[in-house]
């Protein structure tokens, strides 16, 4: 199955594409001229209504144009015209900086003393969005600084990000054997999942050795990006980059602190699982990094795409008719590009295209049960977007911590059903695969949080060398994995993880832990509440674009400041670990 993008454009030569491109350019010019004319005497209510109309129009056009470009590139990475259009659009969108600064400057001066209680329907509908824009204005630089910064990042952090991406994408891993061909880094890292232990170890050793070719350049990229983030974050008035990340994520410090404290208290539980896995694989001093992803158990299950559709939709139906119907629609209307092929991006994702009220899902489906779970995950993302399609595009933008809610909830529905049906060997495979993922999100994600937090604390004293970065990474892994990981760790994990190299996505790690634990907590609540939970769930998803991370779950009675909520979620994972230990007991 390949997706159909005709609902966007039939191609780059489609007159509608150029028309929308021209309209986006003109709308930005119009908004800029309008913003320049703002004065302290500009009437508040009509001014804000006009601002929202400009913002909605531009957001819709940009979403449609960029999605078409990125979706085209994702299935044909060498599509030069698509890449050219992306570059042009990114440059054009930097021109949004000035009008955005102009309206924020005006709002900062007018709010809230001179603003009447909103009466216009558009203003009441966007009250949260306007409040958020006003709060962001408090961290704004001078107009000229903001404009200059938006342009400098193209040749600053953005360029370093691109360099890192090129380094890792083009890195070839040599196995030191003339009879073995060099392979791309992504292929070498996938050897960690090979059933042959020798292949896993050889792949790990070759991977670590290969980083010597690029680690100095990667360190330069990381130091430059983090250095820019520290400078800009400080100039804006944030105490530290973490404070800025929490602000952008609509998340409070207390929620993060309690979540991490509870995660830390359960580290011994996950180490039990890893130590048992180490024993089963013949290791006596902890699990070597190259065996973290070693497959266990057996499964004879293999799915065609049609069988995967039936399996997912039938299991979704046990929770909600609407969720099942949405999944069927995605398959039937060719929203999914499923087959792996040359030139197509690896992995999977779901793109929400609000202007046309649809999504597109990329996967690389080969028929494994893991591929089925991946499809369920991405369809969960799609359902989240589907729920928000009736909202304004400005009210459909949810923060990173809430982004994984519907996806993990959806895959949990399918996984729990599979576990009920599985025999002992299949159950071991399914449990272990699920625990692999959960352990990465709890232990490894926490180690990445420790690593990045340390980098931000040490970077002000000067650039960090490769040995220093390796040492910080090893210390972070020791803090989370403890004795469950042997001396064969992964000191170069910072080289290959792209999440560290995005200046606008700092601490792109804890949102995954939040997403897993929040979704597990919701699933537990759904079991207790029964069918009555379905409407609550949909309302919760609808609220994700219009409330803080704390207020969204509070709408259905969940208090994120209560450690018991997080404990309840981790107890679900502990139950899986207990079952794994029971299944593998001698």
Verify that 408 and 451 share a domain, yes or no. Answer: no
Is the model's pLDDT at 363 over the cut of 70? yes
115 pLDDT tier (thresholds 50, 70, 90): low
Over range 84-113, report the average pLDDT: 90
Query: Do the domain assignments include residue 224?
Result: no
Query: Do the domain assignments include residue 101?
Result: yes
d(CA 180, CA 489): 25
Q: Which of 131, 155, 179 is the last residue of a domain?
A: 155
CATH number where 516 lies:
1.10.1370.20
Tell me the pLDDT tens digit for each residue of 364-379.
888 888 889 999 999 9
- Provide the mean pLDDT of the chain: 93
Query: Do the domain assignments include residue 185?
Result: no
Verify that 29 and 150 share a domain, yes or no. Answer: yes
Is the model's pLDDT at 397 over the cut of 80? yes
Verify that 247 and 124 share a domain, yes or no. Answer: no
Verify that 285 and 322 share a domain, yes or no. Answer: no
Verify that 347 and 484 share a domain, yes or no. Answer: no
Verify that 409 and 495 share a domain, yes or no. Answer: no
- C-alpha angle with apex 217: 215 to 221, nearest 5 degrees? 110
Verify that 251 and 336 share a domain, yes or no. Answer: no
Does an H or E element contain 358, and which? strand 358-362
CATH number where 403 lies:
3.40.390
**Among the ranges given (122-126, 445-449, 454-458, 474-478), the one the predictor scored with the smallest mean pLDDT:** 122-126
Q: Which of 155, 189, 209 is the last residue of a domain?
A: 155
Is the model's pLDDT at 112 over the cut of 80? no
Q: Considering only CA atoms, which of 566, 560, 456 is closest in space to residue 516?
A: 566
Q: What is the pLDDT of residue 188?
A: 86
Is the model's pLDDT at 116 over the cut of 70? no
Is the model's pLDDT at 299 over the cut of 80? no
Q: What is the pLDDT of residue 483?
A: 95
Verify that 351 and 466 share a domain, yes or no. Answer: no
Tell me the pLDDT tens digit for each residue of 527-583.
999 898 999 999 999 999 999 999 999 999 999 999 999 999 999 999 999 999 999
d(CA 371, CA 380): 14
Q: Which of 135, 155, 175 is the last residue of a domain?
A: 155
Query: Do the domain assignments include residue 338?
Result: yes
Verify that 329 and 363 share a domain, yes or no. Answer: yes
- C-alpha angle with apex 401: 521 to 218, nearest 5 degrees? 130
CATH number where 72 lies:
1.20.140.70
**Residues 168 and 496 sit within 8 Å (Cβ to Cβ):** yes
Q: What are phi and psi of 237, to 5 degrees?
A: 105, 10
Query: Do the domain assignments include residue 539?
Result: yes
Query: Do the domain assignments include residue 163?
Result: no
Query: Do the domain assignments include residue 262?
Result: yes
Verify that 281 and 353 share a domain, yes or no. Answer: no
Q: What is the pLDDT of residue 72?
A: 95
187 pLDDT tier (thresholds 50, 70, 90): confident
Tell me the pLDDT tens digit for each residue of 31-74.
999 999 999 899 989 999 999 999 999 999 999 999 999 999 98
280 pLDDT tier (thresholds 50, 70, 90): very high
Over range 90-116, report the average pLDDT: 86
**Strand, coil or helix: 290:** helix
Is the model's pLDDT at 165 over the cut of 90? no
Is the model's pLDDT at 323 over the cut of 80? yes
Verify that 294 and 410 share a domain, yes or no. Answer: no
Q: What is the pLDDT of residue 344?
A: 78
- Entry pTM: 0.90
Verify that 489 and 559 share a domain, yes or no. Answer: yes
Sign of CA dihedral 97, 71, 170, 187: positive
Q: What is the pLDDT of residue 179?
A: 77
Is the model's pLDDT at 455 over the cut of 70? yes
206 pLDDT tier (thresholds 50, 70, 90): very high
Share of the chain above pLDDT 70, in %: 99
Q: Considering only CA atoms, which of 568, 507, 580, 542 is closest in space to residue 244?
A: 507
Is the model's pLDDT at 584 over the cut of 90? yes
Q: What is the pLDDT of residue 285?
A: 93
Over range 442-456, report the average pLDDT: 97
Q: Considering only CA atoms, which of 158, 62, 54 is closest in space to residue 102?
A: 54
Report how many domains make up the chain. 3
Is the model's pLDDT at 107 over the cut of 80? yes
Is the model's pLDDT at 114 over the cut of 70? no
Is the model's pLDDT at 300 over the cut of 80? no
Tell me the pLDDT tens digit for each residue of 227-239.
999 999 999 999 9
Query: Do the domain assignments include residue 178?
Result: no
190 pLDDT tier (thresholds 50, 70, 90): confident
Paired strand residues for 353:
358
- Domain range for 70 is 15-155
């Amino acid at each position: 199955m390949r997706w159909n993008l005709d609902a966007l454009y039939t191609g780059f030569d489609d007159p509608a594409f150029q028309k929308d491109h021209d309209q986006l350019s003109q709308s930005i010019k119009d908004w800029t001229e309008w913003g320049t004319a703002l004065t302290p005497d500009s009437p508040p209510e009509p001014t804000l209504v006009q601002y929202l109309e400009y913002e909605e129009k531009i957001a819709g056009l940009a979403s449609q144009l960029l999605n078409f470009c990125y979706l085209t590139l994702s299935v044909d990475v060498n599509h030069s015209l698509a890449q050219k259009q992306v570059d042009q659009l990114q440059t054009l969108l930097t021109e949004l900086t000035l009008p955005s600064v102009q309206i924020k400057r005006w709002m900062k001066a007018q709010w809230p003393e001179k603003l009447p209680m909103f009466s216009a329907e558009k203003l009441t509908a966007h009250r949260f969005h306007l409040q958020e824009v006003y709060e962001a204005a408090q961290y704004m630089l001078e107009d000229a600084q903001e404009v200059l910064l938006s342009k400098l990042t193209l040749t600053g952090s953005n360029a370093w990000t691109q360099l890192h991406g090129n380094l890792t994408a083009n890195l070839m891993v040599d196995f030191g054997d003339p009879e073995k061909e060099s392979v791309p880094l992504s292929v070498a890292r996938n050897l960690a999942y090979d059933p042959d232990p020798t292949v896993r170890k050889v792949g790990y050793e070759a991977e670590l050795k290969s980083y010597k070719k690029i680690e100095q350049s990667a360190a330069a990229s990381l130091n430059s990006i983090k250095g820019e983030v520290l400078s800009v974050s400080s100039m804006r008035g944030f105490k530290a980059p973490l404070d800025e990340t929490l602000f952008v994520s609509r998340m409070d410090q207390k929620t993060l602190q309690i979540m991490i404290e509870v995660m830390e208290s359960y580290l011994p539980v996950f180490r039990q699982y890893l130590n048992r896995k180490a024993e089963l694989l013949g290791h006596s001093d902890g699990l070597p990094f190259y065996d973290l992803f070693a497959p266990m158990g057996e499964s004879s299950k293999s799915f065609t795409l049609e069988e995967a559709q039936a399996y997912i939709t039938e299991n979704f139906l046990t929770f909600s008719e609407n969720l099942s119907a949405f999944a069927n629609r995605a398959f039937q209307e060719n929203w999914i590009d499923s087959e792996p092929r040359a030139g197509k991006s690896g992995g999977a994702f779901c793109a929400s295209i609000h202007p046309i009220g649809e999504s597109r899902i990329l996967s690389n489906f080969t028929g494994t049960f893991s591929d089925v779970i991946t499809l369920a995950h991405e369809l969960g993302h799609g359902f989240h977007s589907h729920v928000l399609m009736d909202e304004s595009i400005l009210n459909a933008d949810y923060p990173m911590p809430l982004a994984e809610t519907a996806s993990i909830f959806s895959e949990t529905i399918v996984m729990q059903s599979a576990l009920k049906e599985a025999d002992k060997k299949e159950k071991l495979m399914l449990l272990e695969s699920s625990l692999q993922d959960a352990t990465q999100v709890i232990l490894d994600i926490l180690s990445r949080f420790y690593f990045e937090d340390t980098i931000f604390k040490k970077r002000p004293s000067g650039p960090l060398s490769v040995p220093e970065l390796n040492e910080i990474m090893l210390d972070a892994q020791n803090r989370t994995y403890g004795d469950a990981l042997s001396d064969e760790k992964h000191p170069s994990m910072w080289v290959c993880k792209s999440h560290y190299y995005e200046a606008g996505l700092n601490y792109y790690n804890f949102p995954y832990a939040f997403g897993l634990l929040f979704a597990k907590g919701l699933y537990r609540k759904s079991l207790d509440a029964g069918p009555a939970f379905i409407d609550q769930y949909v309302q919760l998803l609808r609220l994700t674009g219009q409330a803080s991370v704390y207020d969204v779950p509070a709408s259905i009675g969940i208090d994120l400041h209560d450690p018991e909520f997080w404990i309840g979620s981790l107890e679900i994972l502990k139950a899986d670990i207990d079952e794994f230990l029971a299944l593998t007991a001698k």
